[in-house]
A = this chain, B = another copy of it.
Amino acid sequence: MKRIHRFQRPPRILSAAAAGGKEERRGPHGEEFDFCSPNDLFGVQTWEMAEGEMARASLSFALKKAGIRAEEISLLFAGDLQNQCVASSEGLCSVGAPFVGVFGACSTMAEGLALASLAISGSSQVSLAAVLTSSHNCAAERQFRTPLEYGSQRTPTAQWTATAAGSVLLTGEENPKKTGWGPGGRCPQISEVVFGKMVNGGITDAANMGAAMAPSAADTLLTYFRESGRTPADFELILTGDLGKEGSALLSLLMAREGFYLQEKHVDCGMLLYDPEKQDVHCGASGCGCIASLLSCHFLPRMARGELHNILAVGTGALMNPSLIQQGGSITGIAHLVHLEVR
């Protein structure tokens, strides 16, 4: 069975934007974010609702940059890490767009981009799709591990859930009139997608997401390389979501064992969002918002400016459920792949 979905008329990305918190502003890409909240609260009272506000802010910026109104969105794909994906429903209800809730943990941005691409190809009604995801450090930590106020010590393999959101707008038009890329900016296209299979490597440690996700990232990348006949050398970058230091090392090993050497082509967003010298985040960043924000404020703009032309973006998710972990279960990983090109 063929696993790569290749688009005859690839959807175009016409705008993107990112919002973040105060740690994200302090990071190496802080200045590229469209908006950062100085206290992570985005003007509301709780971390959970703050994430919703941040999600909506990122969408508003993506729309504004392209001069598009929210009413023009044909389908809005969104999901997040909170139980029942409530940041998306709370934050986006007032947008008033037809809503498709998705859940792929930290693979949600890649899953949403892949689904939106299929939807644009499958229905002439989908003229504008928006894909959005978010995570909030304070909301996620108290839900998945312990409330920050508890002051629990973090283990060496722990990652720091990003307070960040990213929004991407897609269209089926080959040359969209309105874009958010500025004069001369070129719209990146989604040429191919691969939906990942779930892989469970038996990891039971909620503070080692990297190891839980690495096998699924390897599975999806191997599927893509073998079916397409391509190798890492054919791409400028192979971007992963939030494997962090531990998970990235494991991915390299798993790929090398099968004869694919990622080497310097591999860049993990979890290792880019914070400065390891100045920000004590152990194994790096994690969370849906990690790859979503860096794609939106860094990689897609670089493609639009012509600095990058051909990359693979692999969203990696740990489908971790606290009840199941308490019952002795392990963490299942999943990774979806999106092939981005500027031609």
Contact = CB atoms under 8 A, between A and B. Distances in A.
Interface of A: 1-5, 7, 45-46, 48-49, 71-72, 74-75, 79, 82-86, 89-90, 92-93, 96-105, 111, 115, 117-123, 125-127, 143, 194-200, 319-324, 327, 329, 332, 334
B1 A99 contact: no
A145 to B, nearest CB: 14
6 contacts: A86-B324, A89-B332, A101-B111, A118-B122, A120-B122, A121-B122
Contacts of A75: 195
A98 B327 contact: no
Nearest to A327: B46
B198 A92 contact: yes
Contact of A319 (B84, B102, B195, B197): B84
Given A46-B327, A90-B324, A93-B198, 18 more contacts: A1-B71, A1-B74, A4-B125, A49-B327, A75-B195, A83-B321, A83-B322, A84-B105, A89-B332, A89-B334, A93-B199, A97-B197, A98-B194, A98-B197, A99-B196, A99-B334, A117-B122, A120-B122
Given A90-B324, A99-B198, A115-B100, A122 B125 contact: no
Q: List the 10 closest A-B pairs by CB distance, nearest first.
A: A122-B122, A121-B122, A86-B321, A98-B195, A118-B122, A89-B319, A101-B103, A93-B198, A83-B83, A84-B321
Given A99-B195, A99-B334, A324-B86, A123 B125 contact: no
A319 B86 contact: yes
Contact of A103 (B102, B122, B324, B327): B102
Q: Is the interface of A mostly helix, strand, loop or mixed?
A: mixed
A74 B191 CA distance: 19
Contacts of A2: 125
A89 B198 contact: yes
B48 A324 contact: yes
Contacts of A45: 327
Contacts of A101: 79, 102-104, 111, 319, 334
Nearest to A119: B118
A271 B215 CA distance: 45
Contacts of A79: 101, 103
Contact of A83 (B4, B194, B323): B323
A5 to B, nearest CB: 4
A197 B97 CA distance: 6
A196 B98 contact: yes
Contacts of A85: 103, 319
Contacts of A123: 5, 7, 118, 121-122
A329 B86 CA distance: 11
Contacts of A4: 125
Nearest to A73: B1
A2 B74 CA distance: 8
Contact of A111 (B84, B100, B334): B100
A84 B197 contact: no
A242 B148 CA distance: 38
A83 to B, nearest CB: 4
Contacts of A320: 84
